[in-house]
Amino acid sequence: MEDFLLRRWRTFAWRAAGGALAILAMHFLAGASHMPVALVPFATSIVLVLGSPNAGPAQPRAIVGGHLLSSLVGLAVSLLAGSSPWAAALAVGLAMVLMFSTRTMHPPAGIDPLIVVNDSLTWTFLFIPVLAGTVLLVCFAFIWHNAPVFRSHRRRWPEQWW
């Protein structure tokens, strides 16, 4: 029993260290791109992907698809309805429906349309930071979760790519 608990704590400590390192990297990338808003959508994604890697929303399809679709919805609603609390609420609701219907549910991506509508962001937000950030996050998670450390004690990540 003690061995099991020790292994469990070591695994969690490894995941937490990965989360901290990923947040730090994302912070520096956001600063380098002069887009501090880039931190917001990915902070909770990092916690989910590194803390609960076996969860469905922590798989690459959900990470990339959820963020891209949610941001796309935010951009479309912002273009059609402008920036208002009603438009932001509509965008979040539509993003939830779209993520659910495409099997890309990634709860942290729910903030993307809110940010896009509230800040009247442009279409470049879809590519940088969203596309670039999700691809970097998936690459980081793949390397971190499949590192030789603790490999014998867990499954490989991701459980499915698409």
What pTM does this model have? Answer: 0.89
Look at residue 48 and tell me whether its pLDDT is greater than 90. Answer: yes
The phi and psi torsions of 103 (rounded to 5 degrees) equal: 55, 40
pLDDT band at 38 (very low <50, low <70, confident <90, very high): low
Distances (CA, A) of 127 to 67, 69, 130: 11, 12, 5
Residue percentage of the chain with pLDDT more than 70: 93
DSSP string, 24-46: HHHHHHHHHTT-GGGHHHHHHHH
> What digits encode the pLDDT tens for the residues 85-138?
999 999 999 999 999 999 999 999 999 999 999 999 999 989 888 998 899 999
Domain boundaries, the chain: 2-153
